[in-house]
Amino acid sequence: MQIQFNSDSSVMGTENVAERIEAQLRHQLARFEDRLTRLEVHVSDANARKGGDDDKACMIEARPRSGEPVAVTAHAGDVDIAAREAGVKLAARLDHLFGKAERHKHDTPPSKVM
């Protein structure tokens, strides 16, 4: 699973931040690794240097091997917390998505006997 990290100019987009978030997401989403091709992580700061509550955002888009992309967003006062919360949301969405796909797999229905 490839992870692509993007940040706006107001978020510290240093390697350290990207590495921390990537490690955290790999840990949170390890059980889906074989079902996903890529994660796109976008972090931003709505208020830039002004500060404020819940002004950091993390949007994660997961690309399953088959099917449509799944995206979640979380807001927090810190980029790492926003990423952690987005990872939790994404794990729940993927559990639902992949669980639903498993529930809808059916064996070939028996022929009707007349």
Note the pLDDT tens digit of each residue in 9-25. 766 655 688 889 999 99
- Exposure string (b/e) for 53-62, b if CB count within 10 Å is 16 or more? eebbbbbbbb
Looking only at the bridges linking them, the beta strands covering 36-45 and 56-64 are: antiparallel
| Euclidean distance between the first and the last CA atom of the chain, given in angstroms as a whole number | 50
pLDDT of residue 33: 93
Q: Note the pLDDT tens digit of each residue in 83-96.
A: 999 999 999 999 99
Global pTM value: 0.80
From residue 29, give the alpha-carbon distance in Å to each of 13, 77, 84, 95: 22, 23, 11, 10
The better pLDDT of the pair 45, 114 is held by 45
What pLDDT is recorded for position 89?
Answer: 97
Helix (H) or strand (E) holding 17: helix 15-28
